[in-house]
Amino acid sequence: MTASIKDVAKKAGVSAGTVSNVFSGNRVVRADLVERVREAARELGYQPDRAASQLRAGKARIVAALVPDLNNPFFTSLIASIESSLRADGMDIIVASSNDDPAEERTRLAALLAWRPAALIAIPCADEFASRDLVDKAGIPYVVVDRVPHLFEGDAVTVDNPEAGRMAADHLIGLGHRNIVVVASTMKLRNIRERCEGIEQVFTDHGLGRPTLIEVGLDFETASERLADFMEGERQATAFLALTNFATLGVLASLHQRGRRVPEDVSVLGFDDYSWMRAVNPPLTAIRQPVEEMGRMAWLRLRERIAGEDVPFSRMRLNCKLMVRTSTAPAVGSPQTDRPSSAGRSAPAKTG
């Protein structure tokens, strides 16, 4: 059905090799022949078959991406960024979702590798990245993004999670909040743990005890559910610090459900920064992750590796940014102070 290189060769009256050279630019071809080949190709609607090309040349022009969830805008934004970086280098992207399940991750990864991609970008579903052995065996360069295994030997791109946690905690404590609830997706993930560490550090620096911490899972539904349960008995918190996208949503939903107003009754600080956070009322104070840049960095590193550069492994740690909006306000009854201890513990939670 589709024209092959031979059809073009015949039509242009040259050999297949010449046609190949015209398109790949691997060797120079006389101008008049180039013209004839181009013309013939145009007439036939010919375009080199990438699968065949990759097979023979051993150079893949496809990159694989493995993410935990294609419904999470954080991951898809990352893919968007990577896709637009890739394209400049004539690459295409093949994607798969592990659905946050290690077993699926393994099979999906195997399927991706079966295409012999030039490289892989992985966001593991658990941060041991148990399926890593498959990639190692395949011998292709890869970079782990966002969720990096402990003692990982390889390229990685993350944000500075401890610092992000500190920024968030600083902001809330600076506003006088002492009863802060930290809403994590799951402590099984290292990035989440690191954010918590940053937060706790600030608490310690201020002479405060550890903040209340709850785990609410990886999607909106379960997050809302668990938060609703939690809030049942909770009356003291003056601020919620949500460590992920869906955790933020869950907090908002259950606060609203219980009729507690933001920021009058309780402050909310979220993670990730999407359009809707700016649009809603009140606009959300949030820690912005540099998604766009993460994607670019990941590809930059992979490109070097593909080119065969033997640079040492690197862990890029990008900085988050605190976007202060109006969902966070001074704690009720607390003057805006940095004095340690005191306050908080006994601060009456205004109920809605």
Residue 14 partner contact from a second copy, DNA, none using kind-dependent CB cut-offs of 5 to 8 Å: DNA
Helices 5-12 & 31-44 angle (0-180, nearest 10):
120
Residue 212 partner contact from DNA, a second copy, none using kind-dependent CB cut-offs of 5 to 8 Å: none
Where do contacts with a second copy occur on this chain (CB under 8 A)?
Answer: 1-2, 45, 47-52, 54-55, 62, 69-71, 73, 76-77, 79-80, 83-84, 87, 90, 92-97, 99, 108, 110-116, 134, 137-139, 220, 224, 246, 249-250, 252-253, 256, 261-262, 274-276, 278-281, 283
Side-chain half-sphere of 231: how many Cα atoms within 13 Å? 26
> Comparing C-alpha atoms, which of 116, 174, 122, 171 is closest to residue 143?
122
Least Cβ distance, residue 345 to a second copy (angstroms) = 28
CB-nearer residue toward a second copy: 76 or 201: 76
Handedness of CA 189, 190, 195, 198 (dihedral sign): positive
Q: In the structure encoding, which two tokens stand for residue 155, read together?
A: 């390229």
CB-nearer residue toward a second copy: 67 or 159: 67
| Range 191-220 burial, b when 16+ CB lie within 10 A, else e | bbbbbbebbbebbeebebeebebbbbbbbb
Residue 76 partner contact from a second copy, DNA, none using kind-dependent CB cut-offs of 5 to 8 Å: a second copy
From the CA atom positions of the chain, what is the Rg in Å? 26
Residue 201 partner contact from a second copy, DNA, none using kind-dependent CB cut-offs of 5 to 8 Å: none
DSSP state of 139: T
CB-nearer residue toward DNA: 17 or 209: 17
Least Cβ distance, residue 142 to DNA (angstroms) = 20
Residue 347 partner contact from DNA, a second copy, none using kind-dependent CB cut-offs of 5 to 8 Å: none
Dist. CA 146–CA 80, nearest whole Å:
15
> Comparing C-alpha atoms, which of 154, 116, 109 is closest to residue 131?
109
CB-nearer residue toward DNA: 54 or 76: 54
CB-nearer residue toward DNA: 42 or 339: 42
CB-nearer residue toward DNA: 49 or 221: 49
Least Cβ distance, residue 94 to DNA (angstroms) = 17
Find the helix or strand (DSSP H, E) in which 122 lies.
strand 119-122
**DSSP result, 241-270:** EE-SHHHHHHHHHHHHHTT--TTTT-EEEE
Least Cβ distance, residue 7 to DNA (angstroms) = 7
Contacts 24+ apart (CB under 8 A), 257-265: 257/228, 258/228, 258/231, 258/352, 259/352, 260/351, 260/352, 261/352, 262/327, 263/326, 263/327, 263/328, 263/329, 264/329, 264/350, 265/332, 265/349, 265/350, 265/351, 265/352
Residue 276 partner contact from a second copy, DNA, none using kind-dependent CB cut-offs of 5 to 8 Å: a second copy
CB-nearer residue toward DNA: 55 or 103: 55
CB-nearer residue toward DNA: 62 or 156: 62
> Comparing C-alpha atoms, which of 336, 339, 351 is closest to residue 176?
336
Least Cβ distance, residue 346 to a second copy (angstroms) = 28
Where do contacts with DNA occur on this chain (CB under 7 A)?
Answer: 2, 4-6, 13-21, 23-24, 26-30, 33, 46-49, 52-53, 55-59
Residue 121 partner contact from a second copy, DNA, none using kind-dependent CB cut-offs of 5 to 8 Å: none
Answer for the pair 158, 150: CB distance below 8 angstroms, yes or no: no
Least Cβ distance, residue 212 to a second copy (angstroms) = 21
Least Cβ distance, residue 248 to a second copy (angstroms) = 8
> Comparing C-alpha atoms, which of 206, 284, 281, 279 is closest to residue 241?
284
Least Cβ distance, residue 209 to a second copy (angstroms) = 30
Helices 31-44 & 16-24 angle (0-180, nearest 10):
90
CB-nearer residue toward DNA: 32 or 153: 32
Least Cβ distance, residue 19 to DNA (angstroms) = 7
